[in-house]
Amino acid sequence: MSKNLLSSILFFIPFLRKGTFCNGLLLLFTLFYVPQFATAASAIKINNNIYMAQGSSNISSNTFMVITNQGAVIIDTSSPAAAPQHYEMLKAVSSAPIRYIIITHGHGDHTGGIDLWKESGTQVIAQNNLIEFLDYQTRLKGFFAVRNAKQAGQPIPVISNPNPGNFAGQNPADILFDKKYQFTLGELTFQLFSTPGETPDHLSVWIPELQAAFVGDNFYNSFPNIYSLRGTKPRWALDYVQSLNKVLSWKPRLMLPSHGMPVSGNATITQKLTQYQNAILYVHDAVVAGMNAGTDVFTLMNSIQLPPDLYVGEAYGRVSWSIRGIYEGYAGWFDANPSSMYSDPPQVALSELVSLASGVDNVIQRAQEILLSSEDAVLALHLADAVLAADGNNIGGWTVRRDALVKLKSLSTNGIEKNWLQSGIDEANAKLNSP
């Protein structure tokens, strides 16, 4: 039995016991026969008010529909690619008018279906910082188009207007708030709180009558991406900790993240959120201690590890990336080495060193030996970089670079790392196959 399948079944057991999931047994039976990575073909009933269209992966969020006797509220709208299917699945559950759309934050995998869901009279709610966050993403449209595609393992799109201006984001919100916003619809109260973490505009939703907390991307089944490799402003570790504290203070019995499955039971939710925030705090405090002791960032990346009781997995965020993200979030790019003040990159010296090593062939041979002997493939990759610094068209250099990337990909268990390695493999293959 796969771990995913087991966790899906464990999630539904409390609902089966309470009898609120009347066709749960049928669903439980069906779950045994869905492939490991398949998502549900129809909306999942969480309780009498909440339904979920499940996102397929990290690139499309879940869409939630909360149904009241005065209309429905949509929480997150998934990606442009997934939104039409989510819309169809949830509209099949209820045709109630959509009174509000709540956006947990301004990432494209959450905002992609806003236009689809918006009806006359629908109000879109977001946190104030959404405006600057959308401006920032739009300001760097060309940059992010390439980096997002590489990180997601997608083809690189052709961008017609990569530089739309400094303040060109399109604000979808009718209502913006700073710290807290509350409204009542039918029998339910919706309390929205600013909970920065994954993004500065991140919000979480608390429905006290259902004891339900919607936590967006501030919790998922992996260490968080405190630094995202596609490029991001600092995501402050202490913001995550405080935001998760706020959710814990509500004592939720149901937690609904925007990626992955809901979690039920206050004891389980408390255990998961406490472990998660303690893992973030552990890494943060270790980086801060290292910075104050004068330790360099690479030593910290190699030495700080989560203790076993705080290990929350690294299938999405990697602890080492977050260590560097926290360090450079606080300190910026200068590493206190005077040579870093100048615009000549380290590759200038690498090129010189390669010629001192009697040319590229010796370096290529050493990199190949390292790969064949199953030593550190990262070292082989750096040697390939040195060869290409000396001769950017060297076939042997590109070949050993590709082989090192393939080796690293075969060893990786992190989806983002694999996608970036594949983008390097594609680049090397394109170079090797060009006339």
**Contact window for Zn ion (CB under 5 A) among 55-63, 144-152, 288-296, 412-420:** 55-63
Tell me: does residue 314 bind Zn ion (CB under 5 A): no
Please pick, from the candidates 61, 137, 195, 204, the single residue that binds Zn ion as defined by CB under 5 A.
61
**C-beta contacts of 287-294 below 8 A and 24+ residues apart:** 287/323, 287/326, 287/327, 288/326, 288/330, 290/327, 291/327, 291/330, 291/331
**Contact window for Zn ion (CB under 5 A) among 23-31, 61-69, 84-92, 140-148:** 61-69
- Give residue 97's identity as a one-letter amino acid code: P
**Tokens coding 338:** 């005077």
Do residues 51 and 78 make contact, with C-beta atoms less than 8 angstroms apart? Answer: no
* CB neighbour list of residue 327: distance below 8 Å, 6 or more residues apart: 287, 290, 291, 297, 300
Tell me: does residue 109 bind Zn ion (CB under 5 A): yes
CB-wise, 61 or 127, nearer to Zn ion? 61
CB of 108 to Zn ion, least distance (A): 9
C-alpha distances (whole Å) from 186 to each of 66, 166, 317 are: 11, 41, 39
CB-wise, 226 or 367, nearer to Zn ion? 226
Q: HSE of 215 in the Cβ direction (CA atoms, 13 Å)?
A: 34
Site string for Zn ion, 66-105 (x = CB under 5 A): ----------------------------------------
CB of 56 to Zn ion, least distance (A): 12
User: How far out from the chain centre does Cα 64 lie?
Assistant: 19
CB-wise, 109 or 314, nearer to Zn ion? 109
Compute the distance between CA of residue 44 and CA of residue 262 in angstroms, rounded to an integer: 11
CB of 322 to Zn ion, least distance (A): 17
CB of 177 to Zn ion, least distance (A): 21
**Contact window for Zn ion (CB under 5 A) among 45-53, 112-120, 211-219, 307-315:** 211-219
Tell me: does residue 201 bind Zn ion (CB under 5 A): no
CB-wise, 201 or 217, nearer to Zn ion? 217
CB-wise, 109 or 201, nearer to Zn ion? 109
**Contact window for Zn ion (CB under 5 A) among 108-116, 242-250, 289-297, 311-319:** 108-116
CB of 63 to Zn ion, least distance (A): 12
Tokens 């042997």, located at residue: 396
Q: HSE of 240 in the Cβ direction (CA atoms, 13 Å)?
A: 29
Give me the torsion for CA of 177, 180, 185, 186, rounded to 10°: -170
Please pick, from the candidates 201, 217, 239, 417, the single residue that binds Zn ion as defined by CB under 5 A.
217
Question: H helices of 65-216, where?
Answer: 83-91, 108-111, 114-117, 130-139, 141-152
Residues that bind Zn ion (CB under 5 A): 61, 109, 217
